[in-house]
A and B are shown apart, each in its own frame.
Chain A
Amino acid sequence: MTAPKTVTVLVVDDNPELLNVFIEGLPLAGDFTVLTASDGSKGLEAYYAHRPDIVVIDLIMPELNGYQMARSLRGDPISADVPLILFTALPQDHTEFASFAAGGDQFLTKPVIPRELAAAINQALLISDQERTQRLRRLAEEDDR
């Protein structure tokens, strides 16, 4: 019997306090190794340096924001399939749609506690490419209506 694989999570947020919460909290909530970055550019650097299993991105950040970072990852064949969770402290009418359109697999509204993020990560890891495409198509149809 093989031991369950440790999931490497990259959390990108400009709030150091929240990064600290996830560094300490996620390993308690599951078998996670947590990497962090404080903005989108550093997040991309960290992604290519460590190739984590999943990336959690805050939408509003200095430099490269969450949407831009998600689009960059989705636009590169190397990172196009990595599961992405986007979250924000400023949800507006089209934020959720824009997050999925930028390539997110999950959308969360802050405050999010480590156990909730762990559950979302486990769920996002199960989403296949086909499901991702189908959901995007469905969202686009709903938005047209």
Chain B
Amino acid sequence: MKSLFQVAVAKPERFQIFAAAQRHVRRLRVIPFVLAGLQTALVTGLTLELNTQTLSQAARVLMIVSWGSCLVFWGAAIGAQRRADALSREVATMRQQADLAWQVDELKDQFIAAVNHELRNPVMAMMGYLDIIDMSLGLNKTERLPKQVAAAVRVGYGMRDLINSILDTRRVDQSADTFVAEAVDVQTALETTLDLLGPREQFLKGHALRITIPVQLAIWGEPVLLQQILTNLLTNAVKYTIPGTPIDVEARAIHVSSRRHARRLGESGTVEIVVRDYGLGIPPNQIPLLFNRYVRLPRDLASRTMGNGLGLHLCKVLTEAMGGRIWVESTGISGEGAAFHVQLPGPPAP
């Protein structure tokens, strides 16, 4: 298990919120005492400076009130101190709970890695024996067996892909942001992605692909990461759309209305890529969970559609690693489908 120090070094943002809370508690502890001290000093100074014998009745009353207010201030400061102590204890408890949650998260990652490792050898043995059977049948073919062996080999490859994607996700989670950004032409990235997905007609399964991408539109990121995002979004679109409906891929340079998001993306402008299908859509109440790891819609769990619930999580991690954001718009009405939006920074001005 990683020590907290290692977690803090690897993920400093996890600790920033507690550091901020502790700073706030320190201020809460110190400021009332400083104010009470200043007031007491002021009133003491005035008392020493003035000759109380010659003061008018009103001035004496005022002096007494001033001393009284000093007492009130000290009382308030002590009260604030107690509240600060309580808050401090609360922050410490929350931090302990968060530490525990993070350690459990690390443990879970290590468990996934261990299971992954343990699965690879038996899967390899099984695929190896199937390969031997396949090669042996190649020497002495029978009518019926090759089809079944081919099916078993296909299942074996499916298992291998699943094992690899689980490990890839874990590795991407840990190191997605270690890349050198460059200008990536969106049209070229899409074409490369489609080439990698195999023969286009076979991949698209009869769906028309309608592409609207301005010439020379580029993002500022990493080509392979963008290709992985497009691969997952296109594969999902094909998987979940209704037969005979088209799939749209649109991209455009956009003006960012949110100042905060504009600051995050820098002054370089933003590119939005939208992959839209006309399938069953996603029920709005299930959208918030969609980008989490291993999440599949209840409807898909009960269907024949294969998936491991990692594709969209990968898209999110990769998009955020390049300084962008991803979201989905869907009414959940069959035929209206879903539109996945990816906003990424554009290249910096020359």
Contacts and interface: CB of A to CB of B under 8 A. Distances in A.
B123 A113 contact: no
Given A28-B135, A111-B160, A115-B135, A22 B120 contact: no
B175 A93 contact: yes
Interface stretch (B3-11, B32-40, B125-133): B125-133
A92 B156 CA distance: 22
B123 A25 contact: no
B131 A115 contact: yes
Given A25-B132, A28-B132, A29-B135, A112 B124 contact: yes
A117 to B, nearest CB: 9
B216 interface: no
Contacts of A25: 128, 131-132, 135
Nearest to A15: B121
A114 B131 contact: yes
The listed residue with most B CB atoms (<10 A of its CB), out of A17, A25, A113, is A113
Contacts of B139: 28
A109 B171 CA distance: 15
B124 A24 contact: no
Interface string B154-180: 001000100110010001001100001
Contacts of B202: none
Interface of A: 15, 17-18, 21-22, 24-25, 28-29, 89-93, 109-115, 145
Interface of B: 113, 116-117, 120-125, 127-132, 135-136, 139, 156, 160, 163-164, 167, 171, 174-175, 180
21 contacts: A18-B124, A18-B128, A21-B128, A24-B132, A25-B135, A28-B132, A28-B139, A29-B135, A89-B124, A90-B117, A110-B124, A111-B120, A111-B121, A111-B123, A111-B127, A111-B156, A112-B124, A113-B127, A114-B132, A115-B131, A145-B180
